[in-house]
Amino acid sequence: MSAGAGRIADVLVAVVAEEDGGGGSLQPVHPDGRPAGAAERVPDLVAAIAARERREHPRWVWASTAAIYPRLLRAGVRVDRCHDVELTEALLLGYAGRWGEPRTLPAAWARLTGAPVPADPPPRAAAPPGDHQGALFEVAAGPPSPGLDALVRVYADQQIRINATAHPGRFRLLVAAESAGALIAVEMGATGLPWRADVHDALLVELLGEPSPVGGPPRRLAELASRIAGAFGVRQLHPESPAELLRAFARAGYDLPNTRSWVLRGVDHPAVPLVLEYKELYRIWTAHGWAWRQAWVSDGRFRPEYVPAGVVSGRWATRGGGALQIPKVIRRAVRADPGWRLVVADAGQLDPRVLAAVSGDTRLAAAAGSGDLYAALARESFGGDRARAKLALLGAMYGQTGGEAIPALAVLRRNYPTAFEYVEAAARTGEAGGLVRSWLGRTCPPSSVTVRESEDGTGSVLEAAEVDPFGPRARAAARARGRFTRNFVIQATAAEWALTLLAVLRNRLAELGTDPVGAAPPVTDVGLVAGATGLVADEAGTAGLGRDGAAAAGLVADGAAEAGPGRGGAGAGGTGSPRGPELVFFQHDEVLVHCPAEQADQVAAAVRQAAAQAGRLLFGDTPVRFPVDVSVVECYADAV
């Protein structure tokens, strides 16, 4: 695999699956996209990929990981690393100010050749696992694949465009992390989150009462609905209906703008506590009740479909299943297998630490070198008032600039001017209709698009902005845009840090899965990533990108956008998946690993080391620390 100490062999293979049958075509390519050999048609693409993975551990260049990798996993084939053309195209289009244009391989090929650009197929509807068991490789609705030559040429064009960005080294790391994330998303969906159906059912009965034999609300909800109706003096009322609730409150003399919980808490009426309880339980029943469990949990595992970069900031979403909204009480059903443990890691104060790193504010960076950033700020600038320090920092990042935040922000601006100006500049750019970028180069949508996050965790909802630039709402829209861009530069960079952590951790867990217990090699900056994740090529690269990306030439091997473990995941030669530590859940800045109990301490150490390494990869030699709180538990709900 290696081409020298700490170097990654430059083996890239472009792959296209045939739309009917199990065959396909392969062609070796150079890192810049030039063909490195003749194309080859193979009758059994899975077998060909497995053989080449064992022999060479190449970086696979393919149109879409989501389309091809699930079937490889089902056949027992895991791969080290890939370049996802579709995800990369989306990043490059956004960078060029063309956010949201079609990103599929047929669309990229059409742009390259001057042909009419086909629209992307509509998002596939959410479906529980097992509902997509048709052809060997997924074939999305839309135009047919333009073939292997088109794939190779589009990949080469992407390398040219990456090199043309302001910081090519950073952007390569972004592409590497995004492609690694695509592999991890499919692997986690296939592995599944350990889930005890019996515990879940008992929880539902405890919370909701017995299910209705005729399919209506369970007993507890029915009782609450009756009590709510009585509190309003009516015979019947459907509390889940905002319209009915608003009318009921209006009849009682309360003219409410909506029925959101924070609005109801300000109302002095005997129905309010009952309605709040009903809303909470109704949400559990509809989102994670018996019907959900029957659809999404099987063989002791919950298997959602993760969508990398499903949110505009680069955060993940899910397609169905509600994996990113599991209530705390329902987490009691997430239990490790007998003899196993859950290692739950949560990054503390991630966004403000990212601000300290990207802004270059030396005083804030020094404070972020401590375990509690807010406490350090409080001691240094806020007279020991931690709450006031937190209010100021969060207000600066999220645009909360009124009320009690005003004097606290003044202190922040005076003592940490570089950090304050970093987010202020992002806000001004957004208000003026400009584009802002994350540290690695992810670009926000243009001002012609308004963005809101879906309530079910399925991703960002984009809508055309319909504000007259000269009308009375223009200023309010500009301020909202400024708040969005102010936060985007931080949140998108935090998502990059988390994704890089995942890529590094994926490799380390693969090593733990193949080493005898207690015999894992010592973890160093180089040993953790060099020649393995594909994110770092040599020891010099571990200095990270730094503030100007000067170390980027050594950061990613020969500009290759690659990521993944150096042993084909767990298993010999990249096939199979013997029971060892496994990534089972990821949400924003939280990650869960399911592992044998005797390896829990090693896994916990690996998570901490991966977090530190992710910080160095992105930001180089910085005093900013990225600590993670790690709990080793049998039940997810017990994690601190």
| Separation CA 43–CA 48 (nearest Å) | 9
Q: Is residue 300 part of a domain?
A: no
Check: pTM over 0.75? Answer yes or no: yes
Question: What values do phi and psi take at 57, rounded to 5?
Answer: 50, 55
Q: Is residue 558 part of a domain?
A: yes
Question: What values do phi and psi take at 354, rounded to 5?
Answer: -60, -45
pLDDT digits (tens, 9 = 90+) for 440-489: 999 999 988 766 655 555 555 555 555 555 566 788 889 999 999 999 99
Q: Give bridge partners of residue 42 from the DSSP assignment.
A: 24
Q: Is residue 513 part of a domain?
A: yes
Classify burial at 22, counting beta carbons within 10 Å of its beta carbon; exposed 0-12, middle 13-18, buried 19 or more.
middle
pLDDT on residue 533? 39
pLDDT on residue 542? 34
Question: What values do phi and psi take at 631, rounded to 5?
Answer: -120, 140
Indicate whether 558 and 537 sit together in one domain. yes
pLDDT on residue 561? 36
Q: What is the CATH number of the domain that holds 209?
A: 1.20.1060
pLDDT surpassing 60 at residue 194: yes
Q: Is residue 303 part of a domain?
A: no
Indicate whether 542 and 440 sit together in one domain. no
Asked if 579 and 569 count as a contact pair (C-beta separation under 8 A), the reply is no
Mean pLDDT of 396-418: 91
Mean pLDDT of 326-346: 97
Strands annotated E in 140-294: 193-194
Indicate whether 329 and 464 sit together in one domain. no
Indicate whether 482 and 414 sit together in one domain. yes
State the chain's mean pLDDT as an integer. 86
pLDDT surpassing 90 at residue 403: no
Question: CA distances (Å), 295 to each of 29, 290, 337, in order?
Answer: 43, 9, 21
| Separation CA 37–CA 30 (nearest Å) | 9
Mean pLDDT of 298-305: 95
Indicate whether 87 and 221 sit together in one domain. no
Indicate whether 257 and 151 sit together in one domain. no
Instruction: Count other Cβ atoms within 10 Å, centred on residue 266.
Output: 9
How many domains are contained in the chain?
3
| Separation CA 313–CA 483 (nearest Å) | 14
Indicate whether 208 and 322 sit together in one domain. no
- The three-state secondary structure class of 575 is strand
| Separation CA 148–CA 159 (nearest Å) | 17
Helical (H) or strand (E) element with 129:
none
Q: Is residue 307 part of a domain?
A: no
Take residue 416 and report the two structure tokens written for it. 């940490």
Question: Pick from 458, 491, 524: which residue ends a domain?
Answer: 491
pLDDT digits (tens, 9 = 90+) for 135-150: 455 555 668 889 999 9
Q: Is residue 301 part of a domain?
A: no
pLDDT on residue 513? 79
Indicate whether 524 and 439 sit together in one domain. no
Indicate whether 264 and 240 sit together in one domain. yes
pLDDT surpassing 70 at residue 436: yes
Domain range for 590 is 12-194+314-348+493-638
pLDDT surpassing 60 at residue 578: no
pLDDT digits (tens, 9 = 90+) for 524-569: 333 333 333 345 433 223 334 444 433 332 333 333 333 333 334 4
pLDDT surpassing 50 at residue 67: yes
Question: Pick from 294, 329, 360: which residue ends a domain?
Answer: 294
